[in-house]
C-alpha cells in the first residue's frame, strides 16, 4: 500500500513539474506576434560571463531603454532603473527588435536585473 502511494506521489510531482517546465510569457509579449524561433530564442540568452541562461520568455520584458554616458537605464512600469554593467549581454543578437530586460520581481517592484539586451541597431 505504501509503495503504491509513493508511486502516485511521484506521478503527481512529475505532472506538476512538466507543466511548470514550459515557460510562457505573462502577457508582456502580447501584440508582438513572436515567431516560434523568437519564443525559443529567449531560452538561449546567457548571463554575461556565465553559462547560465538569463531565464525564459516569462522573465523577459520589453522595456524603454536609454543610454546615459556608458550606462543603460530601463523604464519598467514608470520607474527608471540603472542596468548593472555585469547584466548587459554583448554576445547575442536581439531578434525581437526592442530592448529586453530579464527582471527579478517582487510584485511589480524590480529587485534586480538579471540580464539586459538592447535593441539591435540597424
Q: What are 7-56's pLDDT values in tens digits?
A: 444 343 333 333 333 456 788 999 999 999 999 999 999 998 888 999 88
What count of other Cβ atoms lies within 10 Å of the Cβ of residue 15? 10
pLDDT band (50, 70, 90) for residue 77: very high
Per-residue model confidence (pLDDT) at position 86? 94
pLDDT band (50, 70, 90) for residue 3: low
Alpha helices in 22-89 (DSSP H): 36-41
Residue 92: all three cell numbers together: 547575442
Q: Are 76 and 63 in contact (CB under 8 A)?
A: yes
Amino acid at each position: 500500500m505504501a509503495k503504491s502511494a509513493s508511486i502516485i506521489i511521484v506521478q503527481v510531482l512529475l505532472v506538476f513539474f512538466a507543466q511548470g517546465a514550459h515557460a510562457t510569457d505573462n502577457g508582456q509579449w502580447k501584440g508582438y506576434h513572436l515567431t516560434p524561433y523568437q519564443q525559443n530564442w529567449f531560452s538561449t540568452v546567457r548571463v554575461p560571463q556565465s553559462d547560465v541562461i538569463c531565464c525564459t520568455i516569462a522573465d523577459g520584458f520589453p522595456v524603454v531603454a536609454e543610454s546615459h554616458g556608458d550606462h543603460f537605464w530601463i523604464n519598467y512600469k514608470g520607474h527608471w532603473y540603472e542596468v548593472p554593467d555585469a547584466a548587459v549581454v554583448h554576445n547575442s543578437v536581439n531578434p525581437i527588435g526592442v530592448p529586453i530586460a530579464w527582471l527579478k520581481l517582487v510584485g511589480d517592484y524590480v529587485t534586480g536585473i538579471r540580464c539586459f539586451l538592447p535593441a539591435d541597431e540597424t
